[in-house]
Amino acid sequence: MDETLITVKEVALNNNCPECYGRGGLILTFKQKVIENQLYKSITSEIKESIHCKTCNNIVYPEQWTDDIDRIVEYQQKAFKALASSTYIKKTSWIIIALVSIVILGTILLVAFV
Protein backbone atom coordinates (compact mmCIF):
# COMPACT_ATOMS: atom_id res chain seq x y z
CA MET A 1 0.00 0.00 0.00
CA ASP A 2 1.40 3.35 -1.04
CA GLU A 3 0.89 6.52 0.90
CA THR A 4 1.63 9.67 -1.01
CA LEU A 5 1.18 13.34 -0.33
CA ILE A 6 -0.18 15.33 -3.21
CA THR A 7 0.26 19.07 -3.40
CA VAL A 8 -3.15 20.70 -3.42
CA LYS A 9 -2.25 24.36 -3.02
CA GLU A 10 0.79 26.60 -2.88
CA VAL A 11 0.69 30.11 -1.51
CA ALA A 12 3.51 32.63 -1.74
CA LEU A 13 3.91 34.41 1.61
CA ASN A 14 5.00 37.99 1.98
CA ASN A 15 6.88 37.35 5.23
CA ASN A 16 10.59 37.43 5.87
CA CYS A 17 12.32 34.08 5.87
CA PRO A 18 13.60 33.10 9.35
CA GLU A 19 16.61 31.46 7.68
CA CYS A 20 17.90 34.01 5.18
CA TYR A 21 15.80 37.02 6.25
CA GLY A 22 14.86 37.53 2.61
CA ARG A 23 11.36 38.63 1.70
CA GLY A 24 9.13 37.02 -0.90
CA GLY A 25 10.74 33.60 -1.01
CA LEU A 26 8.47 31.76 1.41
CA ILE A 27 6.02 29.27 -0.05
CA LEU A 28 3.31 27.66 2.03
CA THR A 29 2.33 24.26 0.65
CA PHE A 30 -0.77 22.27 1.50
CA LYS A 31 -0.53 18.56 0.90
CA GLN A 32 -3.19 15.92 1.23
CA LYS A 33 -2.56 12.27 1.96
CA VAL A 34 -3.59 9.74 -0.65
CA ILE A 35 -3.53 6.01 -0.08
CA GLU A 36 -3.24 3.87 -3.16
CA ASN A 37 -2.94 0.17 -3.85
CA GLN A 38 -3.78 -2.09 -6.77
CA LEU A 39 -7.48 -2.22 -6.00
CA TYR A 40 -8.36 1.29 -4.97
CA LYS A 41 -7.21 4.84 -4.53
CA SER A 42 -8.38 6.78 -1.53
CA ILE A 43 -8.08 10.49 -0.83
CA THR A 44 -7.90 10.94 2.94
CA SER A 45 -8.85 14.07 4.86
CA GLU A 46 -5.35 14.31 6.32
CA ILE A 47 -3.72 17.63 5.46
CA LYS A 48 -0.11 18.55 6.02
CA GLU A 49 1.18 22.05 5.57
CA SER A 50 4.79 23.03 5.24
CA ILE A 51 6.79 26.14 4.42
CA HIS A 52 9.93 26.30 2.39
CA CYS A 53 11.96 29.21 1.13
CA LYS A 54 12.78 29.27 -2.56
CA THR A 55 15.47 31.91 -1.99
CA CYS A 56 17.67 29.89 0.39
CA ASN A 57 16.09 26.49 -0.35
CA ASN A 58 15.50 25.72 3.32
CA ILE A 59 12.47 24.09 4.87
CA VAL A 60 11.11 26.43 7.53
CA TYR A 61 9.88 24.21 10.36
CA PRO A 62 6.95 25.29 12.57
CA GLU A 63 9.33 25.93 15.51
CA GLN A 64 10.94 28.68 13.43
CA TRP A 65 7.71 30.36 12.43
CA THR A 66 7.29 33.89 13.68
CA ASP A 67 3.99 35.14 15.07
CA ASP A 68 3.31 36.74 11.69
CA ILE A 69 3.87 33.46 9.87
CA ASP A 70 1.70 31.63 12.44
CA ARG A 71 -1.10 34.09 11.82
CA ILE A 72 -0.91 33.88 8.03
CA VAL A 73 -0.78 30.07 8.13
CA GLU A 74 -3.85 30.02 10.37
CA TYR A 75 -5.63 32.34 7.95
CA GLN A 76 -4.63 30.23 4.94
CA GLN A 77 -5.76 27.05 6.73
CA LYS A 78 -9.23 28.55 7.08
CA ALA A 79 -9.30 29.60 3.43
CA PHE A 80 -7.97 26.26 2.24
CA LYS A 81 -10.39 23.89 0.57
CA ALA A 82 -9.26 20.30 0.80
CA LEU A 83 -10.15 17.76 -1.84
CA ALA A 84 -13.21 15.81 -0.80
CA SER A 85 -12.08 12.57 0.76
CA SER A 86 -13.20 9.72 -1.41
CA THR A 87 -12.30 6.27 -2.61
CA TYR A 88 -12.06 5.19 -6.21
CA ILE A 89 -12.20 1.55 -7.12
CA LYS A 90 -9.72 0.68 -9.82
CA LYS A 91 -10.24 -1.42 -12.95
CA THR A 92 -8.65 -4.48 -11.30
CA SER A 93 -11.39 -4.42 -8.65
CA TRP A 94 -14.15 -4.13 -11.26
CA ILE A 95 -12.72 -7.10 -13.17
CA ILE A 96 -12.68 -9.18 -9.97
CA ILE A 97 -16.25 -8.07 -9.15
CA ALA A 98 -17.37 -8.93 -12.71
CA LEU A 99 -15.69 -12.36 -12.62
CA VAL A 100 -17.18 -13.18 -9.22
CA SER A 101 -20.65 -12.12 -10.47
CA ILE A 102 -20.32 -14.34 -13.54
CA VAL A 103 -19.33 -17.31 -11.39
CA ILE A 104 -22.24 -16.70 -8.99
CA LEU A 105 -24.68 -16.25 -11.89
CA GLY A 106 -23.32 -19.39 -13.54
CA THR A 107 -23.77 -21.39 -10.34
CA ILE A 108 -27.35 -20.14 -9.92
CA LEU A 109 -28.19 -21.06 -13.52
CA LEU A 110 -26.62 -24.52 -13.09
CA VAL A 111 -28.56 -25.17 -9.89
CA ALA A 112 -31.81 -23.91 -11.42
CA PHE A 113 -31.66 -25.82 -14.71
CA VAL A 114 -29.76 -29.02 -14.07
**Which range of residues in 5-13, 20-28, 61-69, 101-109 is near Zn ion by CB under 5 A?**
20-28
Q: Is residue 27 near Zn ion by the rule CB under 5 A?
A: no
Classify burial at 86, counting beta carbons within 10 Å of its beta carbon; exposed 0-12, middle 13-18, buried 19 or more: exposed
Q: Is residue 17 near Zn ion by the rule CB under 5 A?
A: yes
**Which range of residues in 10-18, 34-42, 44-52, 78-86 is near Zn ion by CB under 5 A?**
10-18
Q: Return the residues of window 30-59 that contact Zn ion according to CB under 5 A.
A: 53, 55-56
